[in-house]
A and B are shown apart, each in its own frame.
Chain A
Amino acid sequence: MNLQSDPFLHIADSIYNDHIDEWRKKGKKVAGFYCTYIPEELLHAADILPFRIRATGNQDTDLGDIYMVRFTCSFVRATLDLALKGSYDFLDGFLVCNSCDHSRRMFELFSLKVFNQVRIKKEVPQFYLALPHTITKEGFEWYKQEIQELKSELEKEFNLEEISLEKLIDSISIYNQNRALLREIHEMRIGKSPKITGTEALQIQMANSSVRKDFANQELKRIVQTLHNGDSIDISNKKRILLVGSVVDNVEFTQLLEDSGAYIASDFLCFGTRNMMDDVSINSGDDPLDAITERLYYRLSCPRMMDDHIRRLNFLKDEIKRAEIQGVLLQRINNCDLHGCDNMLFSHELKELEIPVLNIDREFYQTDTTRLQTRIEAFLEMI
C-alpha cells in the first residue's frame, strides 16, 4: 500500500485545487484564514469554504520582504509573498486573529497591498478576532462575544440569511466527524506497526484544511479503509520521533527527517495533533456557537496562550508514552518567539524523562538542508 499516489494527499501540493475550482464555479465563497483559533464550523455553516493559508512550495520571500523586515517569520513572509504574486486572488474573504505578532499584521498588509490590487476586481471583506492570551472564564466570555460578532459580520458582509442553529449543529457534526477520522488515522501512526508515515499524515492534514469537510470526510473514510486493509510500513531501522513546534506546511522538511532515519510517530503541530484532539461537545439545548467557542478556547493550546504551558508539557509527556517516542525534535522557524521559548522550557523539563531532545531552528523554506540533515542524523545516531 502506498499513499503517495493518493489524489487526496496531492491536494496538499499546491495552494489552489480542483475542489476550490468546482466550489467557486457554483458561485460559492472561499475565505482564507491563518490560525486554527478561527471558528471553521461557523464559516462552514455559512456555506463558505474555509481555507487555511499556507505557503507550500514557495521557495523565496522576495516580495514579502519588501513589507516585512528580516526579523519576521519566513513562513508568514512566504504567504504574503504568494499573495502578492496572486496565488490568493481566489479568496472572497479573509480572517485574522492575534495568534502571533507576525500573522496578525497580515490583516493590514493584505488590505493595503494585496486586496487593493487592480487585478482583484472585487471587494474582499476582512474580519479580525481579538483572542485572549490567557485561559480564564472572563476570557471565555470575551471570546464568545467576539465569535457572536463575527457571525453577524459574516451575515452582513456576505449578504447571508441568518446562520441558523440547525446549520451550526450540522457543521459541528461534520467537523467532529472530521476530527474523529483524523484521530483514527493518527492511531494508525502511533502504534508499534504503523501504517502511515509522518509526511503522509502532514499531507493529509494540509489537504484537509484546503477543502470542504463534507468532501474531506468522504476521502478520509476511504483512506482509513485503505490503511486498515493495507500492510504496516517498515520502520525497523528508524527512530520514533515526536515533532514539536512552529507550523510545518512543507513536506520537504518532514521528508528530510524521515529520509535521515526518523519516523515521525507523532507531533505537536497546528497542522497536526493540536487541531484534532478535541471535539465540540454539544448537548440538546446548548447554544452551538457557545459550544464551538468552548472547544476553540479550551482545547490543547499553542504557546500564544501564555498561561497554559503545563498542559502542553503534559500532552508531550503523554504522547511520548502513547507513541513510544525515542526522541523529541523541538523546532522553530527563526524569529518565532512563542515556540522558541516554549521549546526552551520543554528542553529542560523533558530531561526528567531521560529522553533525547534536539532543539533546532530553521527557515520556512529549505535553504539549509545540509546543516539540518547533519544535526538530525547526529541526533538520531545518538538515540
Chain B
Amino acid sequence: MKFNNSNNRKVIPYEMLLGTLSSTRELVERILPENGIPSLRLGTEYLEPVIQRSIQKANEGIPVIGYHFSFPAEYLHCFDCVPVCIEGTSYFLAALLKGGIENYYDMMHNWGHPFHTCTSQKGSMGMSLDDLFRFDAIITPTAPCDCTIASYPFFKYEKQFPMVMLDLPYLHSSKSYKYYADQLNLGLEELGKIIGQEPNYNNLKKAIELENQVNAIKLEIFDLVKGIPSPIENIFNAVSAGALIFISGTPENLSFYKKMLEITKQRYTKKLHHGAPEKFRSIWPYMITFFSIDLLEWLDRELGLSVLFDIFNYNFTEPIETRADLDTMFLGMAKKGMHLPMVRQSTEFFDPFIEYCLDFAREFSADCFIYTQSIACKQFGSVPQLLREALKEELGIPMLLIEFDAGDARMTSLNTFKEKISLFMETLS
C-alpha cells in the first residue's frame, strides 16, 4: 500500500533517522559506562542536531538537495539548502532501524529494480517511490560505479526530480582534475538555477576550511591507529563514515573529531584498547556491515579483533587551497572529490590500490585482511584474488573474502559473518 504523504513533508526518512539516532543516543547515555564506545556517544551527539536542523529547514520550505555520497556534503554549503545524502540515509537506517529497511528494497524489486544493484541507493529509491522523499534537486557525480549510473536515472525519469550530473573521469591525471573542476563549477551553477539561488562562494570557502581542519585531525587519528593495541574502537569506522557523509562542513564535525582525537591520544599513551585484549589486527580494505554495525563491537569484545580501518577511513585528501582564486579552489575540490573513499579506487587501475594495501599492512602491523565483496560493487569484483595473491606473496598475510550485501542481512547474515571470522581467526592462532 502506498504511503499517503499528505503533509508535504519532504524528508520523512530523515525524521526516521532522527528517531533512531535519538533512541540510540539515549541508550548509550543511560546504559553504557561513561568511557564506553565514545565514538558512538559522540557520533550520535553531533549527528543529531545536524539532522534535526535539516528537518526543520525542510519544513520551513528551504530546498532539499539529494546528493550522492561521493559528492562532498560541504560543497552544498554554498546554498541555503537542506543536503540529504541518498546512500547515507539508506545505510544508516539499515544500521539503526530494527529490521532494517528491507521493505523499501523489496518495494523496488517489485517495481522491477534488479536484485544485484546497490542497496544504499535502492533504499532511498524505495522511499522516494513511497513518496517519503521529495527532493527539489539531486546532484551526483557519474562515479564511482555502474550502480550509480544505472540507478539515479530513476530519480530523474520516474520521480521527475531535477538532476545535475557531474561527469567524473575514470582516470587520474592533471587533465582529469581540471575537467572535474569545471564540472563542479558548472554543476553548482546549474543547481543554483534550479533552486533559484546564486552560489555563495564565501560560505563554500568557510565550509571547506572547516573540513581542511577535520582532515588534518583525521590524519592524526589515523596515524595513532598504528599503535598496538589499536586506540580506537571498531565502531568508530561506522560512526566516522556517518560523520563524513552527513555532517561534513558543519562545526559539529570538527567538534566530533577534536574530541575523538583527544580520546585516541589518551588511549594511545596509556596503551588502552576497547573490549577484549587485542589479539589480531585486521584491515578491511572495503566495507563494513552496515546492516549490522554491532558486528564491529562483537569483534572487539568477543574476538579481540581490531578493525583498524575500512574504505571510508583511509585515503584522506590534501587540504583545499582557499586563499587563492576560485579556479584554484575548484581544482582542489575536484582533487578531493576524486580521492574520496571508493571514488579513488574506482577511477584508477588496481595497482595503486594493491600497493597501498601492502603499505598499510606493513605500517599498521596488520595480521590479516578481511575483504567484504558487496554484491553491488562490480568495479571491485575483479580485485579480491589479485589482492589476496599480493598479500600472500609479499607479506605472507592471509585474506578472508566474504561476499555480502552491505545493507541487507538476507544475503549474508550477521551469524554467518561471525562464524566465518571466528573460523578464520582460528587459522591465525
Contact = CB atoms under 8 A, between A and B. Distances in A.
Nearest to A361: B114
A92 B175 CA distance: 29
Given A70-B403, A72-B382, A134-B142, A341 B117 contact: yes
A105 B379 contact: yes
A212 interface: no
A73 B152 CA distance: 21
A309 B165 CA distance: 13
Interface string A150-172: 00000000000000000000000
Interface of A: 66-73, 98, 100-102, 104-105, 107-109, 112, 128, 130-134, 136, 138-139, 142, 145, 303-304, 306-307, 309-310, 332, 334-338, 340-345, 347-349, 359, 361
B395 interface: no
Contacts of A133: 142, 149, 165, 167-168
A326 B375 CA distance: 35
Interface in B17-46: none
B85 to A, nearest CB: 19
Contacts of B142: 132-134, 306
B201 interface: no
Interface size of B as a range: 35 or more
A93 B112 CA distance: 40
A60 to B, nearest CB: 18
B406 to A, nearest CB: 12
Contacts of B157: 309-310, 345, 349
A282 B154 CA distance: 36
B150 A341 contact: yes
Contacts of A310: 157
A332 B113 CA distance: 12
21 contacts: A67-B386, A71-B116, A71-B376, A71-B378, A101-B146, A101-B379, A105-B350, A105-B382, A130-B169, A133-B142, A133-B168, A306-B142, A306-B153, A309-B156, A332-B114, A337-B116, A337-B378, A340-B116, A341-B113, A341-B117, A345-B157
Nearest to B114: A340
Contacts, number: 148
Contacts of B378: 71-73, 100-102, 335, 337
A341 B403 contact: no
Interface in B169-217: 169-171, 175-176, 179, 182-183, 186
Contact of A134 (B150, B167, B385): B167
Given A112-B386, A134-B167, A69 B381 contact: yes
Q: Which 5 A-B pairs have the closest CB atoms?
A: A340-B114, A133-B142, A341-B150, A130-B171, A101-B378
B381 A102 contact: yes
A341 B116 contact: no
Contact of B381 (A98, A101, A107, A304): A101
Interface in B121-173: 142, 145-147, 149-154, 156-158, 165, 167-171
Given A69-B384, A105-B379, 4 more contacts: A69-B382, A71-B403, A107-B349, A337-B150
A62 to B, nearest CB: 14
A85 B149 CA distance: 33
Contacts of B175: 142, 145
A307 B165 contact: yes
A349 B145 CA distance: 25
A306 B165 contact: yes
Contacts of B171: 128, 130
Interface of B: 111-114, 116-117, 142, 145-147, 149-154, 156-158, 165, 167-171, 175-176, 179, 182-183, 186, 346, 349-351, 373-379, 381-386, 401, 403
Nearest to B351: A108
A335 B153 CA distance: 18
A72 B111 contact: no
Nearest to A139: B167
B153 A341 contact: yes
B170 A104 contact: yes
Contacts of B182: 138
B150 A342 contact: yes
A345 B153 contact: yes
Contacts of A361: 114
Nearest to A138: B182
B110 to A, nearest CB: 11
A67 B346 CA distance: 17
Contacts of B158: 345, 348
Contacts of B111: 344, 348
Given A70-B403, A71-B375, A72-B382, A132 B169 contact: yes
A338 B156 CA distance: 15
Contacts of A105: 350, 379, 381-383
A344 B114 CA distance: 8
User: Which of B346, B350, B351, B381 has the most chain A CB atoms closer than 10 A to its own CB?
Assistant: B381
A342 B260 CA distance: 44
Contacts of A109: 382, 386
A113 B325 CA distance: 46
A334 B384 contact: no
B380 to A, nearest CB: 8
Contacts of B346: 101
Contacts of B153: 306-307, 309, 341-342, 345
B350 A344 contact: no
Contacts of A336: 114
Nearest to B171: A130
B6 to A, nearest CB: 25
A108 B350 contact: yes
B117 A337 contact: yes
Nearest to B183: A138
A289 to B, nearest CB: 18
A66 B385 contact: yes
B169 A338 contact: no
Contacts of B376: 71, 337
Contact of A306 (B113, B149, B349, B383): B149
B185 to A, nearest CB: 11
Nearest to B152: A306
A142 B169 contact: yes
A72 B170 CA distance: 19
Given A69-B403, A361-B114, A341 B151 contact: yes
A104 B175 CA distance: 20
B154 A341 contact: yes
Contacts of A131: 170
Given A67-B385, A71-B378, A72-B382, A338 B149 contact: yes
A372 to B, nearest CB: 17
